[in-house]
């Protein structure tokens, strides 16, 4: 029994050892499998982490690029807004710059999610500012800012008596083709539009140019109802260089020796009371202006320049022939000085001007045309203003003086020709009452009187009109109501009295107006 027992014991130990070895092998295999699985999972995790890091880097790069783009756009918009605020006199750039700088700083230091949110807000602000700018900016071929402005104006008028121009009369005349009967009409040809461009600085001066047009250039020949299709007409077109106290203006501009006109929307094709004492002309010129500041609220300005030497002769067709002033070989010369100070919160201005025009009318007839002008604008108190102009001159029909007549000729057939330059004097005055910021009332009177001694010096005088005009007077009374800054309503009554040799005429006009400004 003993040997068999020993053999069994040995078998049992061998079997236990085999089991132990198998278990160890299985355990090792399991550990290797687990380790391999863990290594694979770890590799996948590392790969995914690397991909996420790469995506994060790409997102950060895109955010930086977008941030730089938005900063550039914000800077460009800020420059645009600063130009607009500079022109309107607003000085609010500092807070805007500080706010923008703080915003940019927050964008660059905030976490990614906050930066994305900040960029979205910035985008909304940029879009809002762009919408605002698109309302005021006109696209141009150059990089400089252009501004469009104008007035769409409808005039409804009723005339009693014959006038020289049915819709915009300047003097009363003889009976027309239909007799002296009441007439009613409407027109929109007094509408205006203009463009203004703001250029770069040149030699320390701001540069600017503008052009203004209307529809007072006549009517298409032979067109049915052509009275309602007025031809576009050039009013002014000039360029300016503006230093702090000095300006240089070149181009076609208004008559600077006569800076004021009565307030009226019934007469825009011709400045109100033109040919009734109000000198005017849109003429090519070169002039210089300088302002001397005496105190904070007081200054003296000086203007001087040369002008196209116009003398009031009508034009014919599309070809241009020299007028008598241009045929002299010289420009016209003009100068003005004015004193301005603040009174009752508004400017008080007193001005004095001089004008000289050398003229050659042919046949050895030469004339030294001239005019002296005084103008004023006086705020009597905060709601009442008195303004006007007076002139005395000779051969100034090109400026509307002498009712547009510069010289007279003898009209006797087969007689020795005779010639006479026409002396004249005239002026106008207006009283303006500003009832509120939206409503004002204006009353004005003007007169122009050629000298009777010059008219009667010729036995049968002839001039630019069918009959020589010896006097012209106009009175007007109107109100102007602006319910909004871009909308106006107005009504006006005007009375005209005109004398011709041996005749006297009068006419009346009632005018209702509605206009939209843009």
Write out pLDDT tens, residues 324-337: 999 999 999 999 99
Indicate if the pLDDT at residue 51 is higher than 80.
no
Residue 237 contacts residue 365 (beta carbons within 8 Å): no
Spatial neighbors of 399 by CB under 8 A, at least 6 apart, are: 255, 258, 279, 280, 281, 310, 312, 355, 371, 393
Separation CA 85–CA 77 (nearest Å): 12
Nearest of 444, 362, 461 to residue 402 by alpha carbon: 461
Which pLDDT score, from 0 to 100, does residue 497 have?
Answer: 97
267-271, 286-290, 494-498, 500-504: segment of lowest average pLDDT: 500-504
**pLDDT band for position 396 (50/70/90)?**
very high
C-beta separation of 220 from 201 below 8 A? no
Radius of gyration of the chain (CA): 42
Least confident window among 33-37, 231-235, 345-349, 507-511: 33-37
Q: What is the pLDDT of residue 414?
A: 67
Segment holding 411, helix H or strand E:
none
* Alpha-carbon separation of residue 433 from 198, 272, 393, 438, 460 (angstroms): 35, 18, 31, 12, 46
Asked whether the predicted pLDDT for residue 103 surpasses 70, the reply is: no
Which tens digits make up the pLDDT trace of 2-14? Answer: 444 444 344 445 4
Taking the mean position of all CA atoms in its chain, how far away is CA 498?
36
The arithmetic mean of pLDDT across residues 355-371, rounded, is: 95
Distance CA 236, CA 196 (A): 11
Note the pLDDT of residue 131: 60
Phi, psi torsion values for 502, nearest 5 degrees:
80, 5
Q: What is the pLDDT of residue 33?
A: 44
């Amino acid at each position: 029994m003993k040997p068999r027992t020993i053999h069994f014991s040995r078998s049992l130990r061998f079997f236990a050892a085999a089991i132990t070895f198998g278990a160890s092998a299985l355990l090792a295999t399991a550990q290797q499998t687990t380790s391999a699985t863990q290594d694979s999972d770890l590799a996948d995790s590392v790969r995914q982490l690397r991909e996420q890091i790469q995506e994060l880097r790409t997102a950060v790069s895109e955010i930086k690029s977008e941030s730089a783009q938005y900063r550039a756009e914000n800077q460009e918009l800020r420059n645009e807004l600063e130009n607009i605020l500079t022109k309107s006199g607003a000085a609010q750039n500092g807070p805007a710059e500080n706010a923008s700088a703080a915003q940019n700083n927050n964008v660059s230091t905030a976490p990614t999610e906050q930066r994305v949110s900040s960029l979205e807000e910035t985008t909304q602000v940029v879009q809002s500012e762009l919408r605002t700018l698109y309302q005021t900016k006109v696209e141009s071929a150059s990089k400089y800012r252009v501004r469009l402005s104008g007035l769409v104006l409808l005039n409804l008028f009723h005339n009693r008596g014959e006038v020289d121009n049915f819709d915009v009369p300047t003097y009363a005349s003889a009976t027309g083709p239909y007799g002296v009967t009441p007439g009613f009409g409407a027109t929109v040809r007094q509408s205006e539009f203009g463009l203004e461009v703001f250029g770069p600085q040149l030699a320390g001066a701001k540069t600017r140019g503008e052009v203004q047009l209307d529809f007072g250039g006549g009517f298409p020949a032979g067109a049915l109802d052509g009275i309602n299709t007025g031809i576009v007409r050039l009013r002014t077109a000039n360029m300016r260089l503006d230093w702090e106290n000095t300006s240089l203006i070149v181009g076609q501009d208004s008559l600077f020796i006569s800076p004021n006109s009565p307030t009226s929307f019934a007469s825009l094709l011709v400045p109100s009371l033109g040919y009734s004492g109000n000198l005017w002309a849109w003429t090519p010129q070169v002039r210089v202006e300088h302002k001397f500041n005496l105190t904070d609220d007081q200054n003296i300005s000086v203007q001087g320049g040369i002008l196209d030497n116009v003398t009031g002769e009508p034009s014919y067709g599309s070809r241009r022939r020299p007028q008598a002033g241009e045929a002299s070989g010289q420009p016209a010369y003009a100068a003005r000085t004015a004193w301005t100070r603040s009174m009752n919160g508004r400017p008080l201005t007193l001005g004095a001007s001089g004008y000289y025009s050398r003229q050659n009318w042919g046949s050895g007839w030469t004339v030294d045309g001239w005019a002296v002008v005084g103008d004023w604008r006086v705020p009597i108190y905060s709601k009442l203003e008195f303004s006007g102009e007076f002139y005395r001159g000779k051969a100034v029909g090109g400026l509307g003086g002498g009712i547009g007549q510069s010289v007279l000729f003898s009209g006797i057939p087969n007689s020795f020709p005779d010639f006479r330059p026409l002396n004249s004097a005239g002026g106008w005055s207006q009283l303006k009452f500003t009832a509120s910021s939206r409503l004002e009332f204006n009353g004005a009177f003007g007169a122009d009187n050629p000298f009777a001694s010059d008219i009667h010096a010729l036995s049968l005088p002839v001039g630019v009109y069918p009959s020589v005009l010896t006097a012209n007077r106009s009175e007007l009374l109107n109100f102007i109501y602006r319910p909004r800054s871009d909308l106006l309503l107005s009504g006006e009554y005007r009375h005209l009295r005109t004398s011709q040799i041996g005749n006297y005429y009068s006419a009346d006009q009632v005018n209702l107006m509605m206009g939209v400004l843009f």
